[in-house]
Amino acid sequence: MNDRNLDQLLDAWMDLGPNAAPARVAEAARLEARTTRQSAIPVEWRPLRFPEMNNTAKLALGAAAVVVAALIGFTMLGGPSGIGSPRVNPTPSATPDLGESLVRQWVAAINAGDRDALVAITAERVATGDVTMDRDEKLDMVLDAWCPMTVNSVERVGVAFLVHVTFRDNRDGTCTDGTPGTTGTFVLEVGDGKVTRIP
């Protein structure tokens, strides 16, 4: 029996107004109830339903996705040069090393006996040998003893600089560290724009 026949039988029965349903109608209703599929999925197995996202959130999520895709594309394609363009490694700049420039300034200040210039480019506490000492005390020792020098070359090794020099005589002949006319090498270290180690 299909739904249409059942509906017709129920309509006829209602029109007649009996107190009990005919046996075949009641049997058809029971059969229909037994064969109709019901949802028997436990609540915990049912898929999660997320609340509707408002338009502002949809737009924000879409904009974020576009930005991420653009960044990935820009990175993968090598920027504005486009697909297939070879990546060119930049050539080392010809600008001088700032640390080397500081080392050369420091030596020039020693040669000129310019204490103020030395204070400006020397850290307040400097390493010397295995100890750390006050800048002013160390600079007094250097200015009193070091002979003037000509810098032959400066070689960077990490934060340290090997300074290759030729010693000169000072006018009054009182310098004691460095024999005039001989060459020597000493190490200066630089950190945060200041000389931090002095021999």
pLDDT of res. 194: 92
- Side by side, which strands form the sheet with 122-128? 131-134, 122-128, 194-197, 183-191, 160-167, 149-157
Q: Which of 159, 181, 158, 161 is nearest to 169 (CA)?
A: 181
The answer to whether residue 160 scores a pLDDT higher than 80 is yes
Q: Which of the listed ranges 20-24, 64-68, 82-86, 88-92 does the model predict with the highest average pLDDT?
A: 64-68
pLDDT of res. 2: 67
Percent above pLDDT 70 for the chain: 74
pTM (predicted TM-score):
0.51
Domain spanning 98-197, CATH class:
alpha beta
**Maximum separation of any 2 CA atoms in the chain, in Å:** 140
The answer to whether residue 93 scores a pLDDT higher than 50 is no
What does the pLDDT look like over 23-77, one tens digit per residue? Answer: 777 777 777 766 766 666 666 666 666 667 777 877 888 888 888 888 887 777 7
What does the pLDDT look like over 115-154, one tens digit per residue? Answer: 999 999 999 999 988 899 999 998 988 888 888 889 999 9
Residue 157 host element (H or E): strand 149-157
- Between these two residues, 44 and 196, which has the higher pLDDT value? 196
pLDDT of res. 36: 66
pLDDT of res. 94: 47
Burial class (CB in 10 A: 0-12, 13-18, 19+), 198: buried
The answer to whether residue 88 scores a pLDDT higher than 60 is no
**Which residues on adjacent β-strands are paired with residue 156?**
161
The answer to whether residue 92 scores a pLDDT higher than 60 is no
**Which residues on adjacent β-strands are paired with residue 187?**
162
Average pLDDT over residues 158-173: 84
Average pLDDT over residues 170-187: 81
Burial class (CB in 10 A: 0-12, 13-18, 19+), 138: buried
Cα separation, 91 vs 131, in Å, equals 40
Per-domain residue ranges of the chain: 3-35, 98-197
Compute CA distances 84 → 73, 76, 80, 87, 89, whole Å.
13, 10, 11, 9, 15
pLDDT of res. 86: 52
Contact 146, 163 (CB under 8 A): no
